[in-house]
Amino acid sequence: MKLENKTILIFAAHQDDETIGCGGSIRKWAFAGCDTHVCFMTDGSTGVEQGKEVKDIVDTRMLEAKRAANILGVTTVQSLSLECQKISNKKANFHKVIKVIRQVKPNIVITHNQLCKHRDHKRTSALVEEACWKAQENILEDLGPVHTIDDLWTFEILDPHPNPDIVVDITDTYEWKEAAMEEYFSQHGILNDIMGYIDGISKVRGYAIGVQRGEAFTRIGRMPIKL
């Protein structure tokens, strides 16, 4: 499967999840003419290293995210600015996600998988999955014209997929993923040896498809793919 000239929308709970989960793929898709949009769910306000005081962490993390996005070739970046660690599946948040889907009109939506231990990741996954379904229904006209996506994928952060459906070859774009992750300087002390982790998991995923580096995804689309 090749993604060329498609529109891809990524919902990430926190500023850096998009890079850890699919940074190499984002860069590859940008080179293939895709428009890739990133929507962060939270403000990232709890991402402070223990024992340290960081002023303006919310602004800092969004600046880091924008610098990372420039490296990866992301088309647009936005944030719903929900309170970090407190994402809830309530109507207001559900409607916000539907509105983004209808505005961007993506072919593919990518988000977290529900195997993640982090509550923000699990709740983001549940919200996005349901919103993708509802975005195609002729309801809630104030949120924009209805839109039907082609497929819904999940990436992996620190809880790997047991049986991924898709592995993208990122051998030629891994250096961009690494460079983008370096921009998240505020998080390096929190995510212990994150650079070593993304190096290792990319090699494991690449090995599965006979290449040097890869990124894994699982499909959770509710509709079958038409061939």
The per-residue pLDDT for range 89-111, each reduced to its tens digit, is 899 999 999 999 999 999 999 99
Q: What was the pLDDT predicted at 127? A: 96
The token pair at 121 is 């990741």
- Does residue 181 carry a pLDDT above 60? yes
SS3 208: helix
As a whole number, mean pLDDT of residues 24-37 equals 98
pLDDT of 55 over the 70 cut: no
Give the pLDDT band of residue 47 (cuts 50, 70, 90): low
pLDDT > 60? residue 214: yes
CB 176 within 8 A of CB 71: yes
Percent of the chain with pLDDT over 70: 92
Q: Which CATH entry fits the domain spanning 7-219: 1.10.10.10, 3.40.50.880, 3.40.50.1000, 3.40.50.10320?
A: 3.40.50.10320
- What's the chain's average pLDDT? 92
Q: 3-state SS of the chain: helix, strand, coil percent to 5?
A: 40, 15, 45
Higher per-residue confidence, 84 vs 62: 62
| pLDDT score recorded for residue 224 | 67
Q: What is the pLDDT of residue 167?
A: 98
pLDDT at 3 over 90: no
Q: How many helices (H) and strands (E) does the chain have?
A: 6, 7
Say how far apart CA 95 and CA 25 lie, in whole Å.
28
For residue 204, the model assigns a pLDDT of: 98
CA 181, 22, 34 angle in degrees (round to 5)?
110
How far is it, in rounded angstroms, from Cα 115 to Cα 159? 7
Residue 131, pLDDT above cutoff 60: yes
